[in-house]
Structure 1
């Protein structure tokens, strides 16, 4: 029951010890002054035996106060501590015949108990009641009942002063602890914000690197692949004795090289393709298909089922890059005879199709091939525009690349 009523106090922090130090300093000064005052006023206490006992009791009490101030172990064993302090104070009271020192020692003990047991008011009340009982018994034995009754009205104000001081001290300590807790929370929040900002910066840099890798692939890689095809075509025309056709292909290659260089520079500066600056997405796709047909010599069809298609420039850029990559893959790998590029619009959105009748391939192997940015980049661009990209192919059955983009609701 007593253990439940008086729970163990929390372990004191270095700040708690520093804040309580003035209280103990005043207490030590009062004890020293009272010790000297008792010896000067009571000749019997200057006898060697009584002097030794009185000095030992005062030193023991001072040592307990010092240990309670600086040692965590004594704070955890507070019940035994208060019992020991109460017994020492009672013994000093009997030895000094109720000197004013005993009042100071009891008041200090009650004040310390209130500070250590706060905010358990029941525990504080019980401790104060026991200390007042011991004080009453000390004074009645030393002074007599009549003199004690005359002195009784002064005990209340003295006790009120001590308890008020302790309550104000405890509340100040609590306010400081709340301020420190708030500071720790702010510091933790600041660290979290710094970590979040670092993660955002890392993700931003990673995404920008990925975007630049896609842009460089879609400009330099596609442009160089187209140049190789054109130069191979020119070489073939020269071998077959058709220099005029070879000259025309070389002119196209030169123009493509200039365009590739220009777009590579614009990609580095995060600008959209030049083809989109010269017209709409439909126009840009038409020019890309015409250039592909002229370069490869393949029979190519561009089918548009949309009167007008208005999309943001960022979306148009990604769609154009997907078509460019698809046509580049056809030229390099498909060995096709016919290519169809279709743009169809509906009430739900639009669809872009690139289809060939070539040798086909396994899409899973294409996605897993190390160092291949093509298909993976197309998938990432499709996700960025809020669309779905499907690559339908099998060996010997041609390839269909389908991009579906739905309109945003509202």
Structure 2
């Protein structure tokens, strides 16, 4: 990186780039340090008219020279060859100007930054040469040791500036690398978020379809099986089961349409969660002839839509599982508002089970879907059961 000459003559280096951003300042500084000694020389110097014309001509040539080689392109992006040509001509022109006035020593202050922007450490070479040349042209070498000290001081100052340029270059390069790393990290995080979001969306849709279509179809299948069994024994019950299955099919279709449109249960449209749970319980109880008691404790508060949807779906899925597996004669659905927590318990007095329930042969999402729903809103779900003692599905979510 940075403060060394590039191996490729046309390749910019970090030091050029770091200070090249202040190109306007460096061009203005050079113009000022050229204009001031020129004005002093032309106005107050002991020159005749011819010498004044020569000085003016050299200043114009130097201005054109600078503009042609460094001023037309972004400073610091010129090739090494162009920079070398520029400094050979600059040394000659400034050396010529120094013979007409001591004040052209000021011009060194405008040339110092340009030396390191264009040549980096090698910029010390033309700057030290210019210091010695200006001292010789202005008669400074007659002072003996003073001239040598001046050149040594210039070399030391050039070295200090080179160190500063190197520090600026390293800082610029490190900042650029950090920004590139940050951009790459952000891109990776965005890609990961998109992948995660896509997976979560597929899981959410799977839960929604299960909780709408699958529950409706399960109810239809249950009543169609009951109707089939009643054909020979109780013909009067066939129509009742078929009517319930028909209503379930229509309700499932309507719910599926609403799910696709809004992915929010119809029971929650315009109704608080306790009321939605009561309606769902009444509907299930009417279909399965099993009484359901809904208990609400605490002060009901409005929850986030996703949280209310999750609790309603847990209740519906738990009731569906009760109808299919429990053989229960009674179900109690309890919703409790406990300040910063809301709990939902679905208790049945069915046959219960031991251990962990086996996966459904139909590949259903029942227990998995309930856990995912509750976890998605920051909650926890537990299932407790024992043979002959019924089953409890307990969900707890933040309010």
Question: TM-score normalised to the size of structure 1?
Answer: 0.59
1:200 corresponds in structure 2 to 193
Q: Provide the rounded CA distance (Å) in 2 between the counterparts of 1:340 and 1:350.
A: 17
1:374 corresponds in structure 2 to 366
Deviations along 1:230-285, one digit per CA (max 9) or x if unpaired, are 21222233322333x33233222222112212222332344311111253322222
- Kept in 2, the 8 Å contact 1:229–1:296? The answer is no
Q: Provide the rounded CA distance (Å) in 1 between the counterparts of 2:150 and 2:81.
A: 22
Q: CA deviation at 1:207?
A: 1.3
Q: CA deviation at 1:286?
A: 2.0
- Count of residue pairs the alignment pairs up: 287
- Kept in 2, the 8 Å contact 1:342–1:354? The answer is yes
2:337 corresponds to 1:330: no
Residue number among 279, 290, 301 corresponding to 2:282 in the alignment: 290
Residue number among 229, 244, 261 corresponding to 1:252 in the alignment: 244
Q: CA deviation at 1:165?
A: 3.7
2:307 corresponds to 1:302: no
1:264 corresponds in structure 2 to 256
Q: Provide the rounded CA distance (Å) in 1 between the counterparts of 2:80 and 2:173.
A: 20
Q: CA deviation at 1:371?
A: 4.3
Deviations along 1:138-178, one digit per CA (max 9) or x if unpaired, are xxxxxxxxxx9973232122223333344434433442332
2:356 corresponds to 1:398: no
- Judged with a 3 Å threshold, the aligned counterparts in structure 2 of structure 1 residues 279 and 22 are, in CA distance, closer, same or farther, namely closer
Which ranges in structure 2 are unaligned for 5 or more consecutive residues?
8-12, 17-75, 89-119, 125-140
The structure number with the bigger radius of gyration is 1
Q: CA deviation at 1:324?
A: 0.7
- Judged with a 3 Å threshold, the aligned counterparts in structure 2 of structure 1 residues 251 and 396 are, in CA distance, closer, same or farther, namely same
Over the aligned positions, Cα root-mean-square deviation in angstroms equals 4.0
Q: CA deviation at 1:388?
A: 3.2
Q: Provide the rounded CA distance (Å) in 2 between the counterparts of 1:346 and 1:172.
A: 65
- Kept in 1, the 8 Å contact 2:326–2:351? The answer is yes
Deviations along 1:156-205, one digit per CA (max 9) or x if unpaired, are 22223333344434433442332222212111111111111111222211
Deviations along 1:207-231, one digit per CA (max 9) or x if unpaired, are 1111111111111111111110121
2:209 corresponds to 1:219: no
- Kept in 1, the 8 Å contact 2:297–2:337? The answer is yes
Residue number among 266, 269, 272 corresponding to 1:274 in the alignment: 266
Q: Provide the rounded CA distance (Å) in 2 between the counterparts of 1:327 and 1:219.
A: 13
- Judged with a 3 Å threshold, the aligned counterparts in structure 2 of structure 1 residues 231 and 23 are, in CA distance, closer, same or farther, namely closer
2:352 corresponds in structure 1 to 360
- Kept in 1, the 8 Å contact 2:346–2:393? The answer is yes
Q: Provide the rounded CA distance (Å) in 1 between the counterparts of 2:337 and 2:307.
A: 15
Q: Provide the rounded CA distance (Å) in 2 between the counterparts of 1:16 and 1:283.
A: 69
What does residue range 103-142 of structure 1 map to in structure 2 within 5 Å? none
Q: Provide the rounded CA distance (Å) in 2 between the counterparts of 1:290 and 1:382.
A: 23
- Kept in 2, the 8 Å contact 1:393–1:399? The answer is yes
Deviations along 1:372-403, one digit per CA (max 9) or x if unpaired, are 52112212222334443221113343211122
Q: Provide the rounded CA distance (Å) in 2 between the counterparts of 1:278 and 1:16.
A: 64
Q: CA deviation at 1:352?
A: 2.4
- Judged with a 3 Å threshold, the aligned counterparts in structure 2 of structure 1 residues 239 and 277 are, in CA distance, closer, same or farther, namely farther
Q: CA deviation at 1:21?
A: 5.9
Deviations along 1:341-394, one digit per CA (max 9) or x if unpaired, are 233445675432222222222453447999452112212222334443221113
- Kept in 1, the 8 Å contact 2:278–2:294? The answer is no
Which ranges in structure 1 are unaligned for 5 or more consecutive residues?
1-9, 30-113, 119-147
- Kept in 1, the 8 Å contact 2:326–2:350? The answer is yes
